[in-house]
Amino acid sequence: MSLEIKVPAVGESISEVTIGQWFKNDGDYVEMDEVICELESDKATFELTAEADGILTTKAKSGDVLEIDEVICEIDTNASKEDATSGSKTEEKESEDNGSESKPSSSSNGGKTGEVKEMVVPTVGESITEVNLASWLKEDGDFVEMDEIIAEVDSDKATFELPAEAQGILRHVAQEGDTLEIGGLICKIEVVEGEAPSEEEKEEASSSASATAPSSDKDTYATGHASPAAAKILAEKGIDAKDVKGTGKDGRITKEDAEKAEKPAPKPAAKEEKKESKETAPEAPKVSGERESRREKMTSLRRTISKRLVAAKNETAMLTTFNEVNMKPIMDLRKQYKEMFKEKHNVNLGFMSFFTKAACVALQEWPAVNAQIDGNDIIYHDFCDVSIAVSAPKGLVVPVIRNAESLSFDQIEKEVVRLAVKARDGKLTIDEMTGGTFTITNGGIFGSMMSTPIINQPQSAILGMHNIVERPMAVNGEVKILPMMYLALSYDHRIIDGRESVSFLVRMKQLLEDPARLLLGV
């Protein structure tokens, strides 16, 4: 009997996964609940276990993208361990018939064992799905030792060093500049036991590698091209890659080449003889300054953000409604108590705690704003998990304050600080960024006067705060200068009607302009 194993559902918003790496090969015997491969989504990495004992038949390879419920492999439950072993013996016999060496060669210092260690791109962060091979530090055919650094790989967050996972002869599989997914094959090492081989053996290995490798006597695609790490350094220095001589394979510009490169001195303008003419065409005006541009690959985080924002615009009936708030009562309250608040709670009293508490009250009074659509159903939440948009170095992230309706002002402020620091340091976990029911974003800290924020799906609404500007306002027939802020509520009109969206903002305006209501619950 052949048992099909399909890609399992790994999260409510995840529709596809990537095969990171196989821990078991095609034809191997596997046991029930044994981990056979890793699956990666745009949020996390998951392990896939065998659903029965038997011989494994893979239907996809590392790097393939599969949809949920798509067949990933099969297990022959009627097969035994002996069947798998006999299969491997048959493969060995075939390799011998084809003239391949199955016995390890030996030398006075050590010898090849016949084992080939395949090295794959390691997991370098839970939100990183691919890397760029920046540069090879060891050439194809070089002898490498265990844990010796052989290459540098760049992700959207940092540069990592790749150490050798065995001692032996290095064989490149990927080239500098290649983009590889996590779990993708990057190189192979022909394992050598004992001490390092002699110089003659090294030369023999290098010559055999050069015999199989394409000739580099002529220019290739790599010639004059900078690796991602080198391109970044050259861009910062303002140096054109064509002015740098590459010392890498086939003339590729490595990171070291870029670090040593210096901007060439401007060449003196060539003197041209002027030909006298009665009629001369007018010359184009000379423009001073440089006209340079550069191309950078979009980071994984930026691609995910782009995909989600476009989906929100295309899949929701999004509208935005506005109101304005007199911030003077809150500003006066903060001025009066901020020192005592900080002394007691060891945290500053900011605006975010007021807006979060006011939003929680309004959300519980207008539950549709705190709900979400799931197919043909509407899910209403009796709790408020408030997502706060934070600008991190690599892009916008949205960590969640859980059960914000039950937190005090100081608890909210401490949670905001904690999440903001983790976002800045790139240490937010998947759990801290998923599951929110409503989002608050503050564009005012960057000087935004008014905006229409985009819904953070699968949520149904997002509140936008803006900068505080003193404006003349009519109060009881008199003109007064007051600190005013515009509020924007973008909402999904499929679930939230105009009455609910407008009433939600009006309620927030009441609570913020009279903060005593927040304390009294009225």
The span from the CA of 507 to the CA of 503, in Å, is: 6
For 467, the domain range is 312-520
Tell me, what DSSP letter sits at residue 253?
B
Is the pLDDT at 263 greater than 80, yes or no? no
Which residue among 219, 243, 425, 497 is the active-site one? 497
- The stretch 91-114 carries a mean pLDDT of 48
Report pLDDT for 228.
60
The span from the CA of 389 to the CA of 443, in Å, is: 9
In which band, very low, low, confident or very high, does the pLDDT at 205 lie, cut at 50, 70 and 90? low
DSSP string for 192-246 = EEESPPPHHHHHHHHHHHHHHSPP-SS--TTTTPBPHHHHHHHHHHT--GGGS--
Q: Determine, yes or no, domain membership for 279.
A: no
HEC letters along 489-513 = EEEECCCCCHHHHHHHHHHHHHHHH
Give me the phi and psi of 342, to 5 degrees please: -65, -40
Q: Determine, yes or no, domain membership for 233.
A: no
Report pLDDT for 367.
95
- The stretch 247-261 carries a mean pLDDT of 74
User: Are residue 27 and residue 78 in the same domain, yes or no?
Assistant: yes
* pLDDT tens per residue across span 272-299: 445 555 566 777 777 777 778 888 777 6
Among residues 43, 62, 94, the one where a domain terminates is 94
Which residue among 219, 243, 332, 493 is the active-site one? 493
The span from the CA of 168 to the CA of 141, in Å, is: 9
Report the DSSP beta bridge partners of residue 22: 37
* pLDDT tens per residue across span 466-477: 999 999 999 999
The answer to whether residue 497 is catalytic is yes
User: Are residue 47 and residue 112 in the same domain, yes or no?
Assistant: no
User: Are residue 428 and residue 486 in the same domain, yes or no?
Assistant: yes
The answer to whether residue 345 is catalytic is no
User: Are residue 75 and residue 113 in the same domain, yes or no?
Assistant: no
CATH of the domain at 384: 3.30.559.10
CATH of the domain at 26: 2.40.50.100
User: Are residue 112 and residue 37 in the same domain, yes or no?
Assistant: no
Q: Is the pTM of this model over 0.75?
A: no
User: Are residue 195 and residue 319 in the same domain, yes or no?
Assistant: no
**Lowest pLDDT segment from 52-61, 68-77, 92-101, 400-409:** 92-101
The answer to whether residues 233 and 260 touch, using CB atoms and an 8 Å cutoff, is: no
Number of C-alpha atoms within 13 angstroms, CB side, residue 140? 21
